[in-house]
Structure 1
Amino acid sequence: MKQGDNIRLRSDGRYEARYIKKRNEDGKIIYGYCYGQTEQEAREKREYQLNKMRTPKEMNLLILGAGLHGVDVYEIAKGLRIFNRIDFLDDDISNERAIGKWNEVEEYLDSYPMAIVAVGDEDTRKKWMERLSSLGFIIPTLVHPTAYLSEDTEIGVGAVICARATISSGVRIGKGSIVSSGATVPRRTTIPNWGYFDFDKIIHYRDSEKRGVTE
């Protein structure tokens, strides 16, 4: 039995108010649901959630990974002077920098609308950046203030360009990739998605500090 605009009476006697929460990477609508003992209660709960979505969020950033690369990413983000707060998530509970674990990330979405993965392992970066995007996080691209980029450089979402890197003309930097400190990327180089460029070549490696991340 439908009651009003996207509000229905469920078989368990509660009222359900549906609203558009977000869209996934394919553009498909993901709905949110609010419940109440009365139609008015369900409607008010839905309006509360919609108002939260309309309220501008602070420019706060979560960094997934509090190891050495995570610290580098923190310094880059801090140097840009655009984030109000920057905090870490890490599965190493002994790491004092972390405010929580990776699999708790969705709980921080309202307070930290932006997030990035800061580990060397390519598979982990790809998996978790895709997950962050599907949850509704904004994935920033971070370029250290001391890095030099040619005007025609193409940079993908979630890429990190470290201090004193030099990016020559015609370079394409894939999403989620890393250019190390002091690296010089030659003209017309293409760094693949999730790739790593160190000094004069693209390399593939597994992060020795990988934190045993779980779903």
Structure 2
Amino acid sequence: MEKVIIIGAGGHGRVVIDAALSNSQLEIIGFLDDGEVEVILGIVKLGKILDIEKFKKYKFHIAIGNNNFRERLSNEIGVESLITIVHSTAYISRDSEIGRGCYIGAGSIINSKSKLGNNVIVNTGSIIEHDCVLEDCSHLSYRVLLGSGTIIKETVYIEMGEIIKREEIIERV
């Protein structure tokens, strides 16, 4: 069983903790956050985000929606210390590749030969069709549909409900 500490206790952090609890291969040790929340679904706050150094023997999942902040924390922690969390109702094709530190939300679908970099967020009900690429620290809000062959560049955020047509390349503006 993999022991993990969640970083972040905002809305996305609560969703990630709930998803992690649906995975029998994970043991959540607690969470780190700079806010006032002390307990989420029975999981207790261990300290502030700056306290990461005290917990280096554990794996981490950065449950923060802000792509640039997530990228910065990932660089600080080191990608080898990150763990991907997949909700039990998500579907991931056997021939897709998922990087470290990703979150795959409830009801999401990742189809054949798609590739996710590190620290990618695929929120609730999003569909990634075949042969898509989501680069590091990109973020799909809920119910996003990516047509086949789409490329989402590093740190790009796609808003909820958006439909991206086939073979588009979406870059930061």
| Alignment check: 8 A CA contact 1:120 1:205 kept | no
> Aligned-pair RMSD on alpha carbons?
2.1
User: Comparing both structures, which one devotes a greater share of its residues to strand?
Assistant: 2
- How many angstroms apart in 2 are the aligned matches of 1:189 and 1:85? 31
| Alignment check: 8 A CA contact 1:151 1:169 kept | yes
- How many angstroms apart in 2 are the aligned matches of 1:69 and 1:75? 10
Of 146, 150, 157 in structure 2, the residue corresponding to residue 204 of structure 1 is 157
Would the alpha carbon gap of residues 205 and 102 (structure 1) be closer, same or farther in structure 2, given more than 3 Å must change?
Answer: farther
Of 12, 18, 21 in structure 2, the residue corresponding to residue 69 of structure 1 is 12
Query: How far has the Cα of 1:75 moved from its partner?
Result: 1.5
Q: Superposed, which structure 2 residues align to 1:24-173 within 5 Å?
A: 59-92=2-35, 94-97=36-39, 98-110=45-57, 113-133=58-78, 138-173=81-116
| Alignment check: 8 A CA contact 2:112 2:130 kept | yes
Query: How far has the Cα of 1:108 moved from its partner?
Result: 2.2
Equivalenced residue count is 144
The structure number with the bigger radius of gyration is: 1
SS in 1 for 2:46: coil
1:188 aligned partner, one-letter code: D
- How many angstroms apart in 2 are the aligned matches of 1:143 and 1:84? 14
2:61 aligned partner, one-letter code: I
The 4+ residue runs of structure 1 with deviation greater than 6 A are none
Q: Deviations over 1:176-196 (max 9, x none)?
A: 001111111111111111001
1:139 aligned partner, one-letter code: L
Structure 1 segments unaligned to the other structure (5+ residues)? 1-57, 207-215
SS in 2 for 1:85: strand
Would the alpha carbon gap of residues 130 and 95 (structure 1) be closer, same or farther in structure 2, given more than 3 Å must change?
Answer: same
- How many angstroms apart in 1 are the aligned matches of 2:13 and 2:29? 11
Give the % identical residues: 28
Would the alpha carbon gap of residues 83 and 72 (structure 1) be closer, same or farther in structure 2, given more than 3 Å must change?
Answer: same
- How many angstroms apart in 1 are the aligned matches of 2:2 and 2:111? 30
TM-score (normalised: structure 2) = 0.75
SS in 2 for 1:60: strand
Query: How far has the Cα of 1:99 moved from its partner?
Result: 2.2
1:106 aligned partner, one-letter code: E
TM-score (normalised: structure 1) = 0.61
| Alignment check: 8 A CA contact 2:64 2:70 kept | yes
| Alignment check: 8 A CA contact 1:139 1:157 kept | yes
User: Comparing both structures, which one devotes a greater share of its residues to helix?
Assistant: 1
Q: Deviations over 1:74-121 (max 9, x none)?
A: 1221111123333111111x21232210111111234xx111111111
1:204 aligned partner, one-letter code: Y
2:127 aligned partner, one-letter code: T
